[in-house]
Structure 1
Amino acid sequence: FDGQYADEEFTSFNGQRQDYPVDGEYFAANFRLGLRYGITDQVEIGGQLVLSYLSFEADEVYFFPAIDELNDLGDIRGGILSFDRTTTGLGDLNLYFRYRFTPMQRFVAAIEIDMKVPTGYSAVTGPFSDTEEPLDSLLPGTSLVDDVSLGDGQLDVTGLLLLGWAPPGGWFTRLDAGFRARFFGPGQQIVSAFKIGNRVVDWAVPYLATDFEYTVTEGEVIGQVLATERVDLSAQEFDFEYVQTPDIRFDRSAWRVGIGTILVVADRELDVSYSLVVWGENTARLHIVSLGTSFNL
């Protein structure tokens, strides 16, 4: 299980870190169920399915026409723009194949092929994907296309080299590096992850971790989004003149750092961790708290 929270973002249109406009807040809760099976001592297959709840809330904004020009309460309500969105359901299915090509010693190396497949949810298209005049969608009586989704709705195939080293003294390190081929629109990515830890006592293995994904090619435009750099304004102060509608793509980059501990309880392991997105493009500045366990069937 992991819980995610953000009230800041790394934007796609100016590459800066900023607060969500009009006091926006993002929250997600994800339940992940994974299964691993060792075909031989060197070959392993597995998969993971995620059930997610996503929510974005922000103050409502009134753009036009001027309230003093209206007498009907219904017309006034029609000019109020709400950014609140929620969705729940199955997210992406991840499948992988792993082959270890070195003996099980202090240094091990393996290759992994990972595939991310959407499960049929509605993919994000951008709030203004169906109009040539995106700002017309803000006229009273119209509504925004929902841009909250359980995933990108496209196929990813990732090839990874996995390296592990367990020096004396209870230490362990792991380095992953690879390339992610993203199909049906997004730009391609390079990915990497690193983890180091030490078994300080029999029942606890604290560790530090970091990972990143970086988009190296530009993907296709999927629509436009409402954006602004005036995040200092409240909903009451916000005005139509501050609105931008930049193009949006599935492209995103992110660098996460984290800390955690593996707790050994009887014959079970409990992994507790916290991580933060410290840099990115077109992504939320997520605070992530995770709790997981594994056991043999």
Structure 2
Amino acid sequence: MPCPHRLAAALAATAAALVTTPASASPWTLPRGTIVFQGTFQYQTATREFFERGPSRSFPLNGHYVGNTFTLGLRAGITERLELEVALPIRTVAYTSDPVILAQRDPASTQPAADFYRRNIINLSRTATGIGDLYLSARYRLALRPFAVAVGLRLKAPTGYVGPSGTFGDRPQSAAEFARSPERYADPENVRDDVTLGDGQLDLQPELLLGYAFPTRTFLRVDAGFNGRFGGAGQQVVGAVRAGQSVGASLLFYAWAQACVSVTGGRVIGVSVAAQDPDLPAVEYDGTRNLLLRELRLERDLVEFGVGAIVRVNRDVELNLGYTRGLWGRNVALTDTLFASIGVRTQVPGLQ
């Protein structure tokens, strides 16, 4: 019969997978000299969104969001307690919707109707491709018994992409300004590319990570932290609960729920033009009457739930497959996400 401290170490190793779930960190840090290379592909789709309050609603004009992200990551055990991580995503995001004409033709105009409508077609479909936010993380394990405890610090930094803005950029700067002269701003030449690769601002997130591995080869993790967001963004409290069960020597099933909630307001970054009735077809838009003006702020809330499975191919290779669903939010899209990861472990000679 193994002694208690060896049993605890074995259970901790079971819970500390090579491949991590999205936006997750583990209190079970990698051993000194261990390096894990990780590649993750995410497919994300949405046809609905959350406003400042209320249930989700459809994107107007049959809108559809699709995001594809490939992330390269590296985790390294620097000491028996300290682990460092870096991750860099390459993203393609696209939003498609039906074109619409908001301008109303003056019956007395001598301009041919075909020319007028052709020049006033507004197309909100956009695509952006490039490098997303860079993530740098450090985790320091404080204890393994009676449960694992670690503290972490995560930095998220933009990489030079164009940040988010309103539907028509910074013109107008308020909903009231748009309402005074909608025809001036609802112009095809004033439409801005509000599809973006990230928030375009710096985050610094300290966190506390707790974990416990049961003799049944079940593990439970609880994370809590504060996301300090710079650039006028709303500050957030964040938290997550994760649980998993090993089945045999090569399979682990897990589930998690996580949330981020803004505790301060964010600055206005532009006016977002939505629809009073998001299900109204484009041909039934009557000028600007169906428009719903929203001052878009750099703040958001989100609650998600996910499930997944980790398959251990061999001692040094693991596969991670999973699904995430948004449950509730504020100023965010209601997304469905599929992801697949592979993690490969190696040892640095002389540092084991």
Amino acid at match of 1:253: D
Residue of structure 1 equivalent to 2:72: 33
1:243-297 residue CA offsets vs partner (Å, 9 max, x unmatched): 1222111101100001111111123111100010010000010000010111123
Structure 1 residue 64: Cα displacement: 2.0
Within a 5 Å distance, the mapping from 1:209-288 to structure 2 comes to: 209-239=256-286, 240-267=288-315, 268-288=317-337
Q: Indicate whether 1:121 and 2:169 are aligned.
A: no
Residue of structure 1 equivalent to 2:46: 6
Residue of structure 2 equivalent to 1:160: 207
Structure 1 residue 67: Cα displacement: 8.8
Q: Structure 1 pair 210/196, CA: closer, same or farther in 2 (3 Å)?
A: same
* Aligned counterpart for 1:75 among listed residues 98, 116, 122: 116
| Aligned counterparts of 1:234 and 1:76: Cα–Cα separation in 2 | 17
Residue of structure 2 equivalent to 1:53: 92
1:134-159 residue CA offsets vs partner (Å, 9 max, x unmatched): 322114x6331211111111110001
Q: Structure 1 pair 271/187, CA: closer, same or farther in 2 (3 Å)?
A: same
14-23 vs 212-221, greater mean Cα deviation: 14-23
| Aligned counterparts of 2:302 and 2:207: Cα–Cα separation in 1 | 18
The question of whether the paired residues in 1 share the 8 Å contact of 2:307 and 2:324 is answered with: yes
More helix by share: 2
Structure 1 residue 65: Cα displacement: 2.3
Q: Indicate whether 1:107 and 2:154 are aligned.
A: no
Q: Indicate whether 1:144 and 2:191 are aligned.
A: yes
The question of whether the paired residues in 2 share the 8 Å contact of 1:106 and 1:166 is answered with: no
SS in 1 for 2:104: coil
Amino acid at match of 1:74: D
Structure 1 residue 15: Cα displacement: 3.7
Structure 2: unaligned runs, 5 residues or longer: 1-40, 347-352
| Aligned counterparts of 1:195 and 1:163: Cα–Cα separation in 2 | 10
The question of whether the paired residues in 1 share the 8 Å contact of 2:166 and 2:270 is answered with: yes
Structure 1: unaligned runs, 5 residues or longer: none
| Aligned counterparts of 1:222 and 1:142: Cα–Cα separation in 2 | 19
Amino acid at match of 1:175: V
86-95 vs 74-83, greater mean Cα deviation: 74-83
Instruction: State the identity as a percent.
Output: 35
Structure 1 residue 58: Cα displacement: 0.6
| Aligned counterparts of 1:275 and 1:121: Cα–Cα separation in 2 | 26
The question of whether the paired residues in 2 share the 8 Å contact of 1:270 and 1:291 is answered with: yes
SS in 2 for 1:75: helix
Higher relative contact order (CA 8 A, sep 6+): 2
TM-score (structure 2 length as normaliser): 0.80
| Aligned counterparts of 1:9 and 1:67: Cα–Cα separation in 2 | 35
Q: Structure 1 pair 75/264, CA: closer, same or farther in 2 (3 Å)?
A: same
* Aligned counterpart for 2:171 among listed residues 110, 114, 130: 130
Cα RMSD after superposing both structures: 1.6
SS in 2 for 1:241: coil
TM-score (structure 1 length as normaliser): 0.94
Moved over 6 A (4+): none
| Aligned counterparts of 1:20 and 1:215: Cα–Cα separation in 2 | 23
| Aligned counterparts of 2:248 and 2:334: Cα–Cα separation in 1 | 33
Structure 1 residue 84: Cα displacement: 0.1
Amino acid at match of 1:273: G
| Aligned counterparts of 1:87 and 1:232: Cα–Cα separation in 2 | 26
Aligned length in residues: 294
